Amino acid sequence: MPPRPAQDPAAAPVSAVIGVDSSTQSTKAAVVDIATGRLLAVGRAPHTVTGRAGARESDPGQWWDALCAAVAAALAEADLDPAAVTGIAVAGQQHGLVVLGADGTPLRPALLWNDTRSAPQAAALTRALGGTDAWLERTGSVPVASMTAAKWMWLRENEPDTAAATAAVRLPHDHLTERLTGTAVTDPGDASGTCWYDPVAGAYDPVLLDLTGMRAALLPEVAPTGAAPAGRLTPEAARALGLPPGIPVAAGTGDNMAAAVGLGLGAEGLLDHPVISLGTSGTVFAATRNRPHSPLLAGFAATDGTRLPLGCTLNCTLAVDKVAALLGLDREDAAPGGETVLLPFLDGERTPDLPDASGLLHGLRHDTTRQQILGAAYEGAVVTLLRALDVLPLDAPDAPLRLIGGGARGTMWVETVRRLSGRAVVLPAAGELVALGAAALAAGAATGRDPVALAVEWGTGEGRELPAVPRDTTTWDRVTSVLDRAAPALLTTRP
């Protein structure tokens, strides 16, 4: 790996970019020095999510307001002349459905990725194309409630007037990029999570568009991979953000794809190296040239032309924190579950595809402790992620796991992953990897350089490696046995 430039901010004027992470719960704006990758400041602003009984929605207008507030906070913290900012890019939560009217404003709140009301539509789409194998052959993904196409079908069936009035369909990051540039554009990574895009052909699939009743004219253009800017910051957006008009705006991408860029995945030596992200949801993914073929994975594309097969669970840190709160325990006050198994499917589940699932507690004894019950929640969440890891089509099966997200800062999360995987774990030192990946995309648009190569030079994926420990096969077998026997009948609580 080439040496990184010395980090001496006084040596030369800073040329910076802004990487935006617009997630389910908040927006983060990272100001990054292009030359060194040094994180100068991070601004934050919250989002509001509404809904119950499977519904999860947000007003897209608040994403823009939060973006403006986060950028302002970051610039103030960095004490940076806005003229030093030479590019910006947005990474956003995947799959969400934003429908716009003829005037370009949202017709209704966005349906978010974790809105499970579209599960029946996802199942109907699977059948309509000929089943699971037909979808895996065509897109590498099987429709689940999270996917944009399923949400569009739900809208057509439940709010036909809104669907009929729709003049444009956007993903969350597309919507924000359009606010920045005035141009309707997406990228191959986020487009690959819609179920109407073919990641092999690199284009919208006319058969799938017809199947879902979607017109290509409603969708944004898919930008090619590479560093070319998708547009320029409009004067109106520049005034709202306090940035120079006309600076390059990258096409951006989905949050998982941006994290992959921030980690340098796909670069030499990091191809086929898996990542586990422990956040509100849990994900496992890797940059690879191999085609996935498993219903446990989504066959996503990366931003650099490689593939990014990914497994995603709905229930991760938030679900375990809920169990801790119910037990009156701190999240770290946990012990291995022993005979207890807890499947923390509190919001339904995506992997495995059980959208109507609830949590299941099994194996209680008189001597079971609260700490063991909490530890069992960790184990249930980790096992569901590792089952997806086991089917990633990787040529480096023994590569260390890179562990990121909020959970990667928790001792119990890290040790549970080590114990149940039996693999070495790397803990990247850099935080805000989604925002840093977006910053690398912005830097690529500003300089013409490869964003993944830039991230490798910045060293944002480097960190401490923990050695492998013997795999706890007893717990693994116990949890997987309960999961296989319980799903789907014992976990289904709604008709």
255 is catalytic: yes
Q: How far apart are CA 399 and CA 113, in angstroms?
A: 30
Q: How far apart are CA 190 and CA 207, in angstroms?
A: 19
Give the closest residue to 189 by CA, choosing from 137, 260, 282: 260
Which DSSP symbol is given to 220?
P
Q: Which residues of 2-14 are buried (b: 16+ CB within 10 A; e: fewer)?
A: eeeeeeeeeeeeb
Q: Residue 349 forms beta bridges with which residues?
A: 354
Q: How far apart are CA 305 and CA 320, in angstroms?
A: 35
Which DSSP symbol is given to 5?
P
Matching residue, tokens 């370009």: 104
Catalytic residue among 33, 187, 198, 255: 255
Task: Return the ∠ at Cα 308 (arms to 307 and 310), rounded to 5°.
Answer: 145
What phi-psi label fits residue 258: left (phi over 0), alpha (psi between -120 and 50 degrees) or beta? alpha
Note the helical H segments in 345-429: 370-389, 411-421
Kindly tell me the sign of the dihedral angle through the C-alpha atoms of 202, 206, 211, 217: positive
Give the closest residue to 492 by CA, choosing from 343, 368, 319: 343
Is there a contact between 310 and 297 (Cβ–Cβ < 8 Å)?
A: yes
Which DSSP symbol is given to 450?
-
- For residue 141, the Cα-to-chain-centroid distance in whole angstroms is 16
Give the H/E segment covering residue 86. Answer: strand 85-92
With H, G, I as helix, E, B as strand and everything else as coil, classify residue 129.
helix
Cα-trace Rg, the chain: 22
Residues forming the active site: 255
